[in-house]
Amino acid sequence: MRQIFLDTETTGLSPDAGDRIIEIGCVEMVNRRLSGRNLHFYLNPQRPSHPDAVKIHGLTDDFLADKPLFESVADELLEFVAGAEIIIHNASFDVGFLNAELKRLARAPFPGMVASVTDSLLMARSMFPGKANSLDALCKRLEVDNTGRSLHGALLDAGLLAEVYIRLTRGQDSLVIDAGEAAATQSAIASVDFRGLVLPVIEASDAEAESHAAMLKELDKVSGGKTVWRRFEPEPVA
């Protein structure tokens, strides 16, 4: 299972108003483990960023002036995400910007280029209704270290989202293990020879047997004689 955690930074809030993508970060996970393969671009948006946006991401127009255009990285981006489940926090925002960039290049919308798009914000809202579910709030709630996040950054946020997602989909106390862990566990079990193992059988004492019979009698009374345990009692020997 291949998943890509994706985040963008933009010049503003509205692609319909001409705002553009200025940073893309992608973090790959395979079988619920980070692969170490990431993709990261700073982009020249060919327009100034809104001052409020700069306060969030810190990427100035001067810094972006010599960066590549989206059209020059589009093929590399689409090749990287092809066939993967894409996980984005507040996916409608990032996908809206990606679609706008691809439309300028006469390319198909982003969701059609990937296996699927999952919105982790919607997941979090269903799990924590009525609570703050921003990436920062989830990091705090799920104990993901985000102390290095003084400003938003696409690659940093994609990495944090990957850690948050793992905790959203598998808690620390979960009994569910992933495919890699299952294979390792099965291998360890297969290497142990149980043929010489003798399990002790501990008989119930007379007092314990009487107590058990009294409990079943009470259950029979309450359930109208429908005690399931009775079905497993051995037939009396004639």
- Supply the residues annotated as catalytic: 152
What backbone phi and psi angles, to 5 degrees, belong to 205?
-75, 165
Which tokens is 40 given?
């990261």
Distance CA 3, CA 80 (A): 11
* Alpha helix positions (H), the chain: 51-57, 61-64, 70-81, 91-104, 120-127, 135-141, 154-169, 179-190, 206-223
Q: How much of the chain is helix, strand and coil, in % rounded to 5?
A: 45, 15, 40
Distance CA 34, CA 67 (A): 28
